[in-house]
Each structure stands twice: as structure tokens, then as C-alpha cells.
Structure 1
Amino acid sequence: MKAAVFHKIGDISVDTVEDPRIEHPEDIIVKVTSTAICGSDLHIYDGFFPQLKDQVMGHEFMGIIEDAGSGVSKLKRGDRVVVPFPIACGHCYFCDHQLPVHCENSNKEHYGPQGDMTSGKGGGLFGYTDLYGAYAGGQAEYARVPFANFGPRVVPDNLTDEQALFLTDIFPTGWSAIDWAQLKGGETVAIFGAGPVGLMAQKAAWIQGAGRVIAIDPVQYRLDMAKNTNGVEIINSSESDPIQAIYDLTQGRGADVCVDAVGMEADRSFLEK
């Protein structure tokens, strides 16, 4: 099959690689119908997350189940599914407490509470280096999805791929930031970063009852997208002090909730990095 393969920093190419196969009874093989490129892929491409071996990229994908292991009971061949970025078993301590990103069973080699540079990581992630389980990603014709009874979700026929694809990563990420803030209704929410995840956090803030939503970013075209798409107030942090601007917009009170939706390649000087 064809797949986007990371070789070394700055080097990703479309190569012919071996087709995935069932390795565990709860595996499925998905024929990918839609996939996306995430800003987090740049962390690998730019070397922020080290990867010494070739790896198929991509953690935002969906498709049709081509094959299923003998232990798969909740899905079947032919089902159209969207696949979440985190890989989780569904029955460990953290999965039982609705924290699947911390799954204890999907990243055996590097799992742990320490959070070090090369060990003590969380659960497994598709296409996201050996540190997170060495799972091949979904920027490919086919992908193996483990723990299929827990992670993938069947997509209703009335939804297109474009309508469902963001459920892999980008929308749940923005939604979770607002969900964890536990809005009561009417709050002023300041969201730093107006990239794709920031846009989703803005949408989620409105849905969950925010009274005002303010987007802060140093790049004007992103702010224009946020304003036009989500009807938010905007602050260009390259033109004014964003903190003072928030005070000015809120009669000196400040925001009730602040969300950090900025990636690793933030607008910082060399010394700050």
C-alpha cells in the first residue's frame, strides 16, 4: 500500500509499505477514506518529538472496516468508522475513569507517571513516534486499529466524511478544554491561539454557554477566520499587549476562563525557546 512515511527531520515521502494485518483478536483493519494533517505532525517533522526509525504518519483518519479480529464484537466488516487519536484499551484504571489518553495498556514500552523526555509517557497514539507506542498512522491506504471494541465509532450514513473527520482529534481537543473549565453560563472565555484547535475551542465555548469569546493570536488571517467563522472578538497580540487588551474589553475584570490552544512552534524568540 501507499503511505506517508517519516524518514528523518524534514523528510516525509509517499512510499510503498507492507499492508497492515490483524495482530490481536480485537484489531480491525480500516480502508482509509479520509485523513488529515495535524499541526502536531509538525512536531515530528521538525524534530521536536524525536523519531529515529521510519514511521507511517497521521492520527486523524476514518474509513471502512476491511477486516476484523475474532474478538471484535461491537463492529463488523463494512462498517464506516471514525478513529480517535488516542489508543485505549477500555478497561484499565484510567479508561474506567474516562481518561483514555492515560491508558495503561496501549504504550507498554514507554508508559508511566514520570513524564520524562524518553519515558513516562501516556497511552499510545497513532503515527506519533516510538515514544507513544510505535503505531503506524492513518495517512495511508489502510491502517490497523487495536482495541477496536472501545475506540472507533460508527458514522451514521447521513454524515459525510468531511462532517465526521474532525471527531478524530481536532474538535474533541477544543471541546475538552472548554468542558474541563466547567462553564456555568455567561462567562468571558479568552482563547490563546486561533489555529484549528483554537477555532474548535471557540465553537465549543459558544455551545457550552459562554457569554463572550475572545480570540488572541499574532497572525491576522487566523483572527479574521475566527471572527468570520465563529463571531468572536479578536486581539492581535503582535500589535498590542493582549493582557491589557483583555482588561480593556472587560472593564478591568479580566477573563473568567483562559484556554491555551497554542502548539509547540509558538511565536517566541530563540532565548524563550
Structure 2
Amino acid sequence: MRAMVYRGPYKIRVEEKDIPSIEHPNDAIVRVTLGAICGSDLHLYHGMMPDTRVGMTFGHEFIGVVHEVGSSVRNLKVGDRVMVPFNIFCGSCWFCARGLYSNCHNVNPNATAVGGIYGYSHTCGGYDGGQSQFVRVPFADVGPALIPEWMDDEDAVLLTDAVPTGYFGAQLGEIVEGDVVVVFGAGPVGLVAARSAWLMGAGRVIVIDHLEYRLEKARSFAHAETYNFTEYDDIVVEMKKTTDHLGADVAIDAVGAEADGNFLQHVTSAKFKLQGGSPVALNWAIDSVRKGATVSVVGAYGPLFSAVKFGDAMNKGLTLRMNQCPVKRQWPRLFEHVRNGYLKPSELVTHRFPLEHIAEGYHVFSAKLDGCIKPIVVPSAA
């Protein structure tokens, strides 16, 4: 098969790899029909995630058609059209039993926190991802779901990570009717978090970023007020001014250690902007909310050594809530929102790249060229 292969920071190419085989009776092999490049893939691309090994295939957002199933698989059959959550989980451990699929205890021997993730370095289990023609799907009876007949493929592929994560970010904020919600980051996750805040009763939604094309999308897709932080001396002061000097009720960090900047900047927080790859956005969130507020964190953070204002959060009595999104837990409600027209995930898609041109896709997305918000990857037929 043809697959994207990592060869070092900023070096990816498409190569021939063996089609994955059934390794366990509960595996399935899925022929990928659509994949995507996620903002967190850029951490890998830039060499910012530890133990990202040469030869690995990235991609944790994909849908496809079941090509082969193991002898124990009961819920899928060859030919089924399926969507696969980015979490790999067993469905039966203490955490899975409580819906914490992203914290599964049985799928990642390399960590005690996060479970398994497709195509996301050996710190997340070392599973190859879906930026390829075929992918092995472990625990096939518990992870994938049949794509409803009424659902478009591009809506389905965004429901494997970006949309559920944004929705989860709003959910973690515990928004109540009338709340002022500020979202840091206008990438796909932040845009969905802002849109979802309205669904949960927000009275006012504000999105902060530094790229005008993303802020325009926040206005059109999420119907949010927008602020370009580069236009203000101190965006925290501006947030206080616009909220009667109290601060927002909820802040959502949809930035995380965003994939830009070098390692020194990640460690020292020397680049004081959202794209700095440091916890600047998280500190802005802590500073921008009122006392007793909630800060939700769904931006992707890897190993991080620079200072978070934890003392400020403690003294303000903030509630901090965070996790990797347990995708499948969000699907029932999100399916209804999509079917009823409250959300149209494919409105976020701006670019479609053939798998053979995925290096260009990473470059365009990484360099934020051509108004790129969400790139889709289209494998050729096997």
C-alpha cells in the first residue's frame, strides 16, 4: 500500500509499506477512504513530540471501508462503511467502563496517562495511523461505528477528532445559561468549541487568535465576537474591559502547545504569542476569567517545562478541567446535532490533498498558507 512515512522533522514522504495484517482476533483492517491532517499532527511534523520514530505513519482522523476482520469481531463485517475515533481503547478496563476511553489502561504500555492514539508517536502506543491506504484497527468491536447512511463522508471524518474535541471543550466548561465564554484559538477545535458553547446556553462567545482568516471563520461558522491579540497591548486587560472588569465565566484553551516555534521557545515560553508552543494561551485563560470560573483545556500539550500560573488559578478559586476527548462518548449527541442541522462539520474543510501530495498538505497547513483551516487527505484506490 501507499502510506505517509515520517523521515525526521519537516521530512515526510509517501512510500510503499506492507498492508497491515490481523494481529489479534479482534482486529479489523480498514481501507481508508478519507483522512485528515490535524493541528496536533504538526507537533510530530516539527519534531516536537518525543519518541516519534522514523518510518511511522501519522493520521488519527480517518474513515473507511472494512477490508478484513479478525475471527472474534462480531459488530463489523467486510464492506461496512465505518468511522474510527482517534482513541484506541479496550472497552472493558476501569476507565473505559466509566466512559474515559481516552485514558484506557490496556492499550498503551508507554504511558500511565493517555491511552492509545493512532499515528501519534510511541508515547501514545506506537500505532500506525490512517494517512495511508489501509490501517489496522485494534478492538474493532468497541472503537469504530457504522457511518449513518445520511451522513456525508467529510462530516464523518471530522467527527473522528476535531468536532468531538471542540464539543468536549465546551462540555468541560460546564457552561450555564447566559455565560460569557472566551475561546483561545480559532483552529477547527476552537471553532467547534465556540459554536458548541451556543448549543449549551452561552450568552456571549468570544474567540481570540492572531490570523485574520481564522477569525473571519469564527465569525461566520461560530457566530462569535473576535479579537486579534496582536492588535492589543495586553489581551487579558482587553478581556477584563469587555466583561465589566470581572472576567469571563468560562475560558476554553483550544491552542495547547501549538506546533510552531523551536524547542527553546517551548521550554522557556520565550515567544509570547499563541503560536509560541508554550502555555501562554493557558495563562491568558487563567488571567482572563473571573474568580470562581472554569477553565477548560483541550489543546494538545506534550511534555512541557515552562511555568503555568497555578498559584493564580488556586487563589482565584478556578476549576480546571481537561482531558483528551473520549470521542465515542460524544457521538450520539453530535450525530443528532449534525442530522438536525445545528452543526455541519464539513464547513471547516478548506483543502483536499491526494495522499501522494501529503507533503504539500503538511507544508500548507503548517505555514498557514492559502487560508487553510482543515485539510482532508484522499488516498487513491488500492
1:133 lines up with 2:134 in the alignment? no
Match of 1:259?
252
CA contact (8 A) 1:185 1:208 kept: yes
- Aligned residue type for 1:254: G
1:248 lines up with 2:241 in the alignment? yes
Post-superposition shift, 1:127? 0.4
- Rounded to whole Å, the distance in 1 between the matches of 2:256 and 2:34 is 24
Q: Counterparts in 2 of 1:3-42, with a 5 A limit?
A: 3-42=3-42
CA contact (8 A) 1:219 1:238 kept: no
CA contact (8 A) 2:195 2:223 kept: no
Post-superposition shift, 1:76? 1.5
Post-superposition shift, 1:5? 0.6
Determine which structure has the larger helix proportion and give its number: 2
- Aligned residue type for 1:142: F
Post-superposition shift, 1:131? 1.4
Match of 2:88?
87
- Number of residue pairs matched? 264
Per-residue CA deviation, residues 147-188 of structure 1 (Å, 9 max, x unaligned), is: 111111111111110121111110111111111222222111
Classify the secondary structure of the residue corresponding to 1:168.
coil
Classify the secondary structure of the residue corresponding to 1:15.
strand
CA contact (8 A) 2:40 2:259 kept: no
Match of 1:142?
134
Residues 37, 92 of structure 1: alpha-carbon distance in 2 compared, 3 angstrom cutoff: same
- Rounded to whole Å, the distance in 2 between the matches of 1:192 and 1:134 is 30
- Segments of 5+ residues of structure 1 without an aligned counterpart are 113-120
Structure-1-length-normalised TM-score: 0.92
- Aligned residue type for 1:137: G
- Rounded to whole Å, the distance in 2 between the matches of 1:189 and 1:38 is 24
CA contact (8 A) 1:40 1:263 kept: no
Per-residue CA deviation, residues 60-96 of structure 1 (Å, 9 max, x unaligned), is: 0001111111111112111111111110000001111
Q: Counterparts in 2 of 1:181-196, with a 5 A limit?
A: 181-196=173-188
Match of 1:217?
209
Residues 267, 29 of structure 1: alpha-carbon distance in 2 compared, 3 angstrom cutoff: closer
- Rounded to whole Å, the distance in 1 between the matches of 2:7 and 2:249 is 44
- Rounded to whole Å, the distance in 2 between the matches of 1:150 and 1:210 is 34
Match of 1:272 among 264, 269, 272: 269
- Aligned residue type for 1:126: Y
- Rounded to whole Å, the distance in 1 between the matches of 2:21 and 2:260 is 42
- Aligned residue type for 2:189: V
- Aligned residue type for 2:75: K
Identical amino acids, percent of aligned pairs = 45
Classify the secondary structure of the residue corresponding to 1:259.
strand
Match of 1:116?
none
Per-residue CA deviation, residues 178-230 of structure 1 (Å, 9 max, x unaligned), is: 11222222111000111111111111111111111000112222111111221
CA contact (8 A) 2:195 2:221 kept: no
Q: Counterparts in 2 of 1:154-165, with a 5 A limit?
A: 154-165=146-157
Q: Counterparts in 2 of 1:26-65, with a 5 A limit?
A: 26-50=26-50, 51-65=52-66
Structure-2-length-normalised TM-score: 0.67
Per-residue CA deviation, residues 84-112 of structure 1 (Å, 9 max, x unaligned), is: 1110000001111111111011112x132
CA contact (8 A) 1:235 1:245 kept: no
CA contact (8 A) 2:116 2:124 kept: yes
Moved runs in structure 1, 4+ residues, more than 4 A? 266-269
1:174 lines up with 2:171 in the alignment? no
1:198 lines up with 2:198 in the alignment? no
Post-superposition shift, 1:249? 2.0
CA contact (8 A) 1:214 1:234 kept: yes
Post-superposition shift, 1:263? 3.6
Which is further off, 88-97 or 43-52?
Answer: 43-52
RMSD of Structure 2 on Structure 1 (CA): 1.5
Residues 57, 77 of structure 1: alpha-carbon distance in 2 compared, 3 angstrom cutoff: same
Classify the secondary structure of the residue corresponding to 1:252.
coil
- Rounded to whole Å, the distance in 1 between the matches of 2:259 and 2:132 is 29
Match of 1:71?
72
Residues 266, 19 of structure 1: alpha-carbon distance in 2 compared, 3 angstrom cutoff: closer
Per-residue CA deviation, residues 37-64 of structure 1 (Å, 9 max, x unaligned), is: 0111111111111323310111100011
CA contact (8 A) 1:191 1:259 kept: yes
- Rounded to whole Å, the distance in 1 between the matches of 2:41 and 2:260 is 18
